[in-house]
Amino acid sequence: MSTATAKKKQNGRAVRPLKIRKDDMVEVIAGKDRGKRGKVMHTLPRENRVVVEGINLVTRHQKPRSTSRATPQTQTGRVVKPAPLHISKVMLVCPRCSQRTRIAISFTSDGKRVRTCKKCKEYIDSV
Among the listed residues 50, 61, 58, the one whose alpha carbon sits nearest the alpha carbon of residue 82: 58
Closest CA to 18 of 29, 34, 7: 7
Given the complex with Zn ion, which of 76 and 108 has the nearer CB atom?
108
Give the DSSP per-residue string, 25-61: EEEE-SSTTTT-EEEEEEEEGGGTEEEETTSSEEEEE
Min separation Cβ 25 and Zn ion, Å: 11
**Could you list the residues that contact Zn ion (CB under 5 A)?**
94, 96-97, 117, 119-120
**Which of residues 49 and 115 has its CB atom nearest to Zn ion in the complex?**
115
- Measure the CA–CA gap between 113 and 120, rounded to whole angstroms: 18
* Choice between 20 and 94, CB closer to Zn ion: 94
Q: Closest separation between CB of residue 17 and Zn ion, Å? A: 20
Kindly state the smallest distance separating residue 30's Cβ from Zn ion, in Å: 21
